Amino acid sequence: MTTLQSNFDARTARVLDELTRKGEYKHLQMIQGPMGPTVTLRQDDGSSKEVLCFCSNNYLGLANDPRVVEAGIEGLKKYGAGTASVRFICGTFDCHETIEHTIAQYMGTEASYTFVSCWTANEAIYPTFAEPGDIIISDALNHACIIDGIRLAATMKKGVHKTVFPHADYGVLREKLIAAAKDPEVTGQVWVVTDGVFSMEGDIADLPAIRGLCDEFGAMLIVDDSHGHGVMGRTGRGTHEHFGMMGRGADGGGTSGNDIGEVDFFTGTLGKGLGGGAGGFVAGSRRGIELLIQRGRPTLFSNALPATIACSANKAIEIIMDEPEHVQRLKTNVDTARSKIKAAGFDVLESPTAILPIIVGETSKAIAMSQRLLEMGVFVIGFGYPVVPEGEARLRIQMSAAHTGEHIDALVDALKKL
């Protein structure tokens, strides 16, 4: 040890001090059991406290469903701890084939391919699919891993262009498409990319409007519906089901009469509504999936989805397909919570998703409110600047099918006491 701090140590100490001073330092809460409508939190004095959880992505309550857990255990026993290989060498097990078939069936696509996370799926799809002369047009509020995946594509392949339209402003999207059509440097494919459900607003992309624009300009549409899977549509397929865009044979026909649905490719996570484990996927045409298998760098250089996750997530998706009542219960819970929160006098954003943001204004206020709620046994996170715009700090409530009427009443009572 030298007494002189390295450059890295000195500047990191400054960054951490500043975060603490501004009240932006994140303290990780330690959970001592499974994710559910209630969780056990470790307290500062080492004791445990059970609190209501309104901030997880466990939308259908499947993270601790006994059948999902059992399927994971069986997978662990049958296949061991992991693949010890990338997919194309000796890391493809028949449980991967099974879950990729299940995901394609669930999504209404020809094929799918899994990754260790949706983050990885987005890092795979853009650099693999985009070629010089292409342009990728992205909603400003798209998830961080979409932004990074697009940046990576543009960095790795010179001549891949990228541009952003303001959130849900399809007038500007149209202008961007017109500009791309006139741009002599755009000689290849035009891609339009959006989240299905936006995580901070809880709002949804207008997929029929975007599809219409894509058709007009010959663009391909990619939707990341990580917060929509298990939530949106009558059977929880996602935002495309919500809009009747699953294609013939899947939802009985969307607006285009296309056999394979109206969204060209999806990315999604297995770590939210679909069992809460981990992992991600790309779903779409067989040909596109083939390209990912041949050329995707995470496919070629990173390990496969662990078998235990492949088995537990597969079971979670089968349960959703067999038992649509979980999706219905979630919708009922969302409606109940929204009307009671509104009746209590709070400004909650309107939307069909399971994300209920309450705008409170200042970042410090949002943080203080979430601390006060936790003292009352209700776990809700406050988000402030820079995650959301200045002055629009919010409490973000996330509903689950696993919440009961009493859980919702306890939430509203605690909000009223604030």
The mark string for 73-112 relative to ligand PLP (x by CB under 6 A, - otherwise) is: ----------------------------------------
Closest CA to 95 of 231, 238, 270: 270
Among residues 256, 306, 314, the alpha carbon closest in space to that of 112 is found at 314
Catalytic residue among 56, 112, 117, 199: 199
126 binds ligand PLP (CB under 6 A): no
Find the binder of ligand PLP among 224, 241, 318, 392 (CB under 6 A). 224
Strand partners, 383: 394
Q: Which is nearer to ligand PLP, 119 or 191 (CB)?
A: 119
Q: Please identify which residue in 56, 114, 117, 333 interacts with ligand PLP, judged by CB under 6 A.
A: 117
Rg for the chain (alpha carbons), in Å? 22
Contact segment (CB under 6 A) with ligand PLP among 224-232, 336-344, 390-398, 400-408 equals: 224-232
Give CA angle at 197 (345, 362), nearest 5°: 40
Q: Is 315 exposed, middle or buried (0-12, 13-18, 19+ CB in 10 A)?
A: buried
Contacts 24+ apart (CB under 8 A), 84-91: 84/303, 85/303, 85/304, 86/299, 86/300, 86/301, 86/302, 86/303, 86/304, 87/293, 87/299, 87/304, 88/293, 88/299, 88/300, 91/303, 91/304
Q: Which of 227, 240, 326, 331 is catalytic?
A: 227
Q: Which residues are CB-neighbours of 344 under 8 A, at least 6 positions away?
A: 412, 415, 416
Number of helices (H) and strands (E) in the chain: give both, helices first. 14, 13
Site string for ligand PLP, 166-205 (x = CB under 6 A): -----------------------------x---x------
Instruction: Look up 199 and say whether it is catalytic.
Output: yes
x/- mask, ligand PLP, residues 268-297, rule CB under 6 A, reads -x-x--------x-----------------
CA-to-CA distance for 332 and 114, rounded, in angstroms? 31
The answer to whether 130 contacts ligand PLP (rule: CB under 6 A) is: no
d(CA 61, CA 230): 10
272 is catalytic: yes
By CB under 6 A, how many residues form the interface with ligand PLP?
13
Catalytic pick among 272, 326, 340, 407:
272
Question: Minimal distance in Å, beta carbon 196 to ligand PLP?
Answer: 8
Name the residue nearer to ligand PLP (CB basis): 242 or 340.
242
Show the beta-strand stretches assigned E in 166-320.
190-195, 220-224, 265-269, 280-284
For ligand PLP, the closer CB: 109 or 122 = 122
Interface with ligand PLP includes 227 (CB under 6 A)? yes
CB of 231 to ligand PLP, least distance (A): 11
Which is nearer to ligand PLP, 109 or 239 (by Cβ)? 239
In the complex with ligand PLP, which residue's Cβ is closer, 130 or 274?
274
Within positions 310 to 329, which residues make up the interface with ligand PLP, using CB under 6 A? none
Which among 125, 101, 127, 128 is positioned nearest to 115, based on CA atoms? 125
C-alpha dist (Å) from residue 275 to 122, 175, 331: 20, 40, 18
Q: Which span (82-90, 149-157, 220-228, 240-248) binds ligand PLP, by CB under 6 A?
A: 220-228
CB atoms within 10 A of CB 344: 15
If one counts every other C-beta atom within 10 angstroms of the C-beta of residue 335, the result is 12
Q: Among this protein's residues, is 101 annotated catalytic?
A: no
Find the part of the chain contacting ligand PLP (CB under 6 A) among 30-38, 68-76, 219-227, 375-383: 219-227
Q: Give backbone dihedrals phi and psi of 265, rounded to 5 degrees, phi first.
A: -140, 145
Contact 195, 342 (CB under 8 A): no
Compare residues 195 and 392 and give the one whose CB is closer to ligand PLP: 195
Structure tokens at 249: 């044979």
CB 122, min distance to ligand PLP, A: 6
The single residue among 118, 245, 246, 316 that binds ligand PLP, judged by CB under 6 A, is 118
Binding site for ligand PLP (CB under 6 A): 117-119, 143, 145, 195, 199, 224, 226-227, 269, 271, 280
Give the catalytic positions in this structure.
Answer: 199, 227, 272
